[in-house]
Amino acid sequence: MALQIGVIADDFTGATDIAGFLVEGGLRTAQLNGVPTNPLPDVDAIVISLKSRSIAPADAVAQSLAAHRALHDAGAERIIFKYCSTFDSTPEGNIGPVTDALMHATGADITVVSPALPVNGRTVYNGYLFVNGVPLDESGMRNHPVTPMTDASLVRLMEGQSEGKAAVIPVTVIDRGADAIRAALAQLREQGIRYAVTDTLTAEHLTAIGEATSELPLVTGGSGIGGGLARVLTGTDAAGTSAANDWVPLEGRAVVFSGSASEMTNKQVAAYREVAPSLAVDVDRLLTEAAADETAYRDEVRTWVLEQPASPAPLVYATADPDTVRGLQQRYGVDTTSATIEGLFAWLATELRDAGVTRFIVAGGETSGIVTTSLGVEGFHIGPQIAPGVPWVRSLDGTLDLALKSGNFGDVDFFSRAQATKTAEESR
C-alpha cells in the first residue's frame, strides 16, 4: 500500500501527538525516532521524530532534509512538517528555515501554516494564535524558558524567520469549505504569497483545510492538520475513531518523569504530588556534583524511586516556576542547566528499566526525547490516546510502554489518568 503521509516532527512528543491523531483518523501509523537507516515499515503513515526544535537552524534544516529524503524514497505522497500548536519558535528559531528548505525539496510554491488544535484550546482567528481564548503572547507561553512567545500574530512570526510573505485565509472563507479554501490558496499563490495562515476554530475547520490541502506536496502545522488530512483520506468523520481499544499495558512498574516548565505541567505536578510519592530534583546539588564528576545524588534518586510503592507510580520532577528556572539558568547557564537535568533523566531511565520498570510517563518534549534515546527505542506502535494529542506508545520490540507528553497538553489529572488502564495482572 502507498505511503499516504510522511511526517517530519521537530520533537518527540510532537511526533507522538500527531501519530495519535493519524491513528484516530484511520491510518495505520508507525513512529520512528530519528532519520531511519533501515527499510521503512509497510503502513499508511510514517512519523519521523527529530529533536530539532531548539537546535541551530542549519542543523534543524539538515536533519529535516534527511528525514524528507527517507520519506520521499519510501514513496510518501505528501509531507507534513509538524511543530507545536503554540508555534514555539522565536525570530531566531527553526520553523521558517525548515519550512523554506522543505518547500524547495518538495517543489511547493505555497503551503499552509496551521498550528491549531481546537480540542486542546489552540485556535487561530484573524491570523492570531490563541491558547484557551487568550492570545499566545498573553498566555503562559510568554514565559517559556526556551522559546518565549511574545507575539500572537502567525503572519509576523512566520515572516520574521522565513524567506517569503505570509497572509491569512480568514474564517469566513474556511466556513465555506474546501473549494473556497482551494480558491483562496490559488489567489494567494498568484500574489506571490508563500505561507497561508489558516484561521481554525473547530475540528470541522481542520477537516475542510485537510481536504483543501490534500494535493499540496507540503503542509505545515500542528497535530490537528494531520488529523484533518487523515480523516479526508480515510473518509472518517470529524469525531474520529476509537484507536487500539484492545490495548493492555505491559506488566511491571511505572515511573513518572517531569522536566517541562510549562504552566500546565506545573499544575499537573502539583496535583499528582497530592496523591503519589514525589521527589523534586535538587538541581543545585545535581549541577555541583556533575561539575565535580560525582554521582552520589543520582544514586540517591534511583534508590528513592525503587523504594516507593509500585502504585501510584513515583514522580521525579525538575518542573519549576519560570522565576526559579531563570535563576538556575543565570547561575549555571542555559545549556549546562538543561543538559545536566536531561542527563539525569536519561541515566535514571536506563537504570530503572534494568530494575524492571516497563512503563514511563514523561512530561516535556526535551525530556521525552532524551529518555527515549537513552532507552534505545528506535520506533513505536501507536496505542490509545490518554488525552488529545498524547497516546500511549509501545516500543517496536514490545518491551516498553511510554506516554510522552508535550508540556502544555493534558488535564490537571493527566499523570493519574495515564495509569488508569490496568495491566492484565492488575485486572485479575
pLDDT at residue 41, rounded to an integer: 83
- Inter-residue contact 391 to 382 (CB < 8 Å): yes
For residue 141, the model assigns a pLDDT of 82
Q: What is the model's pLDDT at position 427?
A: 40
The angle at the Cα of 227, spanning 41 to 163, to the nearest 5 degrees, equals: 90
Q: With cut-offs at 50, 70 and 90, classify the pLDDT of residue 172.
A: very high
pLDDT value, residue 424: 41
Judged on CB neighbours under 10 Å (0-12, 13-18, 19+), 134 is: middle
> How far apart are the C-alpha atoms of 57 and 225, rounded to whole Å?
24
Residue in the block written with cell 489558516: 198
CA distance 408 to 89: 15
List Cβ neighbours of 265 (8 Å cut-off, separation of 6 or more): 258, 319, 363, 364, 405, 407, 408
Q: Flag whether pLDDT at 426 surpasses 60.
A: no
pLDDT one-digit tens code per residue, 116-129: 999 989 999 999 99
Sheet containing strand 128-131, edge to edge, reads 122-125, 128-131, 134-135
Q: Which residues pair with 361 in a beta bridge?
A: 256, 403
Over range 119-147, report the average pLDDT. 90
Span 60-73, average pLDDT: 97
Q: E strands along 127-189, which residues?
A: 128-131, 134-135, 166-169
Q: What is the pLDDT of residue 8?
A: 98
Q: How confident is the model at residue 402 (pLDDT cuts 50, 70, 90)?
A: very high
Residue 244 pLDDT > 80: no
**Among the listed ranges 136-150, 200-214, 250-264, which one has the minimum average pLDDT value?**
136-150
CA 222/CA 388 separation, integer angstroms: 12
Distance in angstroms (rounded) separating the CA atoms of residues 221 and 95? 10
Query: What is the rounded distance in angstroms from the CA atom of residue 308 to the CA atom of residue 315?
Result: 10
Cβ atoms of 71 and 48 within 8 Å: the answer is yes
Cα–Cα distances in Å, from 182 out to 22, 192, 209, 230? 23, 15, 9, 18
pLDDT at 352: 98
Torsion on CA atoms 243, 35, 335, 315, rounded to nearest 10: 30
Q: What is the model's pLDDT at position 422?
A: 55
Q: What is the model's pLDDT at position 243?
A: 42
* Cis peptide leading into residue 249 (ω within 30°): no
Number of neighbours of residue 335 by Cβ within 10 angstroms: 9
Q: What percent of the chain has pLDDT over 90?
A: 64
**CB 325 within 8 Å of CB 261:** yes
- Residue 393 near residue 404, CB atoms below 8 Å: yes
Cβ atoms of 388 and 240 within 8 Å: the answer is no
Is 83 strand, coil or helix? coil
CA distance 55 to 86: 18
Residue 324: per-residue pLDDT: 80
> Of the given ranges (180-184, 187-191, 365-369), which has the lowest mean pLDDT?
365-369
Residue 237 is predicted with a pLDDT of 63
Cα(first)–Cα(last) distance of the chain, in Å?
40
CB-based contacts of 252, cutoff 8 Å, min separation 6: 356, 357, 358, 359, 423
Task: Tell me the per-residue pLDDT of 379-391, one tens digit each, with 9 for 90 and over.
Answer: 888 888 898 888 8
C-beta separation of 75 from 145 below 8 A = no
Chain mean pLDDT for the chain: 90
pLDDT at 271: 97
Give the span between the Cα atoms of 53 and 51, in whole angstroms: 6
* pLDDT band, residue 72 (cuts 50/70/90): very high
Q: Report the C-alpha gap between 177 and 336 in whole angstroms.
A: 49
pLDDT band at 238 (very low <50, low <70, confident <90, very high): very low
Among residues 131, 125, 414, the alpha carbon closest in space to that of 272 is found at 414
Q: How confident is the model at residue 239 (pLDDT cuts 50, 70, 90)?
A: very low
pLDDT band at 240; cut points 50, 70, 90: very low
Position 199 pLDDT exceeds 90:
yes
